[in-house]
Amino acid sequence: MFSNSKKVINYLRILSIQAILKAKSGHPGVALGAAPIFYALFYDHLNVDPNQPNFFNRDRFVVSAGHASSLLYSTLIAANFKSIKIEDLEKFRQLNAKTSGHPENFNLPGVDASTGPLGQGIAMAVGLAIAERKLSSVFNLYSDLINHYTYCFHGDGCLQEGIAYEAMSIAGKLNLNKLILLYDSNGIQLDGEVTDSTKINIKKFVKSLGWNYLHVEDGNNFHKISKAISKAKHSLKPTLIEIKTVIGYGSNKANSNKCHGTPFNEEEIKQIKNKLGMNDIKDFFVPSFVKTSFANKICIRGKALTLQFNEKLNELEKIDVKLYNQFIQCFNNKFEIHDDWFKQQNFSDNKNSTRAISGDVLNTILKNNSNILVGSADVSSSTKIGGSHLISFSKENKCWKNIQNINFGVREFAMSSIINGICLHGGLKAIGSTFLAFSDYLKSAIRLAAISKIPSINIFSHDSITVGEDGPTHQPIEQINSLRLIPNHYLFRPYNFTETLESFKFAFNSSQTPITIITSRGDFLQVNSVKSIDISKGAYIFQDNSKYMVTILATGSEVALAISVSKILLSKKIFSRIISIPCLELFNEQPQDYRNKILGKKLVVSIEYGSTRLWENISDIQFGINVFGKSGKANDVIKYFKLDDISISKIILAKLNHKKITK
């Protein structure tokens, strides 16, 4: 006879593969092999409250190997999470079901991170662990108000993605000892054996990154898995536990890639149930032994944890109301920005770069809010975001209360995924920065943030061919538009101080949408033509003229170019309007009446030093670049591509003259 623990583990296996069978889609191999890992974690360690799945001080559990979704859902059901029912699992991988093909945090409370793109879960787990350490340093003055672990389940595929190495390097440097990776090491991946593509000594690799390494030879022995987790919780370093499992355990396809992503048929499941002693288990049913021997323990532990947290919070309110109010503000994810902070800052009618302006604006914000974290991919001196003037995270700094800067190193992808994890935790806002051309390295993380409704912020400087001497590798062409095409994501390209400040306000007020802010390296004339703008409309009339003959649309530094073009046109007695469009996506979402008002009824031209494709729907002439740039002085490159004020003015004048002739 099986013990109750083994019966629950086998129940998790059977329930998971039943869901996959009904959906005719899924990954049964990991569900059969890794069930003891999930059982050991939930039963003995994971501090969660099934009645309050989003309880703030809960342990976080990231399933980086997102194809193990059926096992996660089965475990949540067995643990009696109120956010999911057995009926939800019957709809596994069906349209609008809570039980989506890969875990989605916004769709199902109890899922701590949306995963699927392998490796990103590990990086987000690093971000979650950073958030826990930072918040505990701020709020644990009187008691352990914030005190929880971050666990991450992953397989070989996650470790093969470079982002895992990037993120683990940072975690080792920061000594994130409350971060524990549960490595499902079964030696098999979709195309065959892991050794077909990979040769690595995991123990030496992990230790070289400053991690603790533990090994569990028998992945079916949940007692040993649990003991390893207990040991990891007392480590002074982050820990990876390599657990040797059998993919497809209990099936005739065990230890084979044939069971990785192919559902078992009814006959095969019948054989598996027989082998596991589960013949009496009905389809999509929760037996009483699951509730009494598994769910009850988790629920009792979670309820006690919630009560303790609330008691500590009430005590904090009595002892230190200022710190209490600060926590409530963090808990509600409120990051206020007040105009009074910027009274001394005035960049009007001076030459400056928007990277410098954004750096000044952000530094002012940071002085007034310690719960904002910033960093760069080793280019803070260039992006002006973060840097040595701020206290940086390191294992040497024991208290992280006043730390705000993260040295990510040249790790763009990990940086963006880690800030996703920090923002996903709640209570903090995180910002990463690098050059716009290198946004390609991390676009997948922005995409996952948009899917997950994580309001992270990325700032990219060096925005166009004006980078000049660094050449086409550093001169972004298609990047701005490719970022604009990401759903549930807004890209801002501010021109002056007012637009920059309003872009940051929008970003910090965002609760479910990641924001990208693009800044320039080069200086250009700053003009504040209006005192205030409604940036939520995406565009506004920067310079008006009732006798206008042409409307010039521009964004970012090209607004300065539009001003210069308008002056040349004026010398030829051609009046123009200038429209600044800091956010093209927001403008395109506006009612048609507003868009018509902005675009006007005359010739419309657009100017942006990048791809022209997205401007074709709203302008008659597009001035931009659809080929790669050139290495040379900025002005020489601009003139080479005929994107200087004189060349643009000539084309506009020729177009207007042609119109006159045809009339």
- Return the active site residues: 412
* DSSP 8-state assignment for residue 281: P
Helix (H, G, I), strand (E, B) or coil at 87: helix
Q: Are strands 192-193 and 150-154 parallel, antiparallel or unpaired?
A: unpaired
Would you call 456 exposed, middle or buried from its count of C-beta atoms within 10 A (0-12, 13-18, 19+)? buried
Contacts of residue 641, defined as CB under 8 A and 6 or more positions apart, other chains included, come to 465, 625, 629, 630
**Distance from C-alpha of 230 to C-alpha of 471, rounded to nearest angstrom:** 53
Altogether, the residues listed in the chain come to a count of 663
Q: In Å, what is the CA distance from 310 to each residue of 57, 138, 322?
A: 10, 17, 17
- Across the strands, what pairs with 373? 430
Return d(Cα 355, Cα 372) in angstroms, integer.
19
d(CA 108, CA 74) in angstroms, rounded, equals 13
317 vs 69: CA distance, rounded Å: 40
Asked whether 524 and 496 are in contact (CB, 8 A), the reply is no
Residue 369: C-alpha distances to residues 330, 336, 344, 497 (Å):
10, 8, 18, 20
Q: Which residues contact 480 (CB under 8 A, 6 or more apart)?
A: 436, 463, 491, 493, 518, 608, 610, 611
- Specify the DSSP class assigned to residue 59: P
* φ, ψ dihedrals at 365, nearest 5°: -65, -45
Token pair, residue 657, equals 């003259």
Q: Which of 57, 61, 132, 123 is nearest to 449 (CA)?
A: 123
Enclosing H/E stretch for 306: helix 296-319
Looking at residue 392, the DSSP 8-state letter turns out to be B
For residue 591, count other CB atoms closer than 10 A to its CB: 9
Q: What's the one-letter identity of residue 374?
A: V
Q: Cα–Cα distance between 400 and 130 in angstroms, integer?
A: 10
Three-state secondary structure call for residue 185: strand
For residue 167, what are the contacts with CB-CB under 8 A and spacing of at least 6? 119, 122, 123, 125, 126, 411, 414, 417, 418
Number of C-beta neighbours around residue 480 at 10 A? 27
Closest CA to 226 of 45, 31, 33: 45
Going from the C-alpha of 493 to that of each of 193, 250, 347, the distances in angstroms are 47, 56, 17
Closest CA to 118 of 163, 185, 170: 163
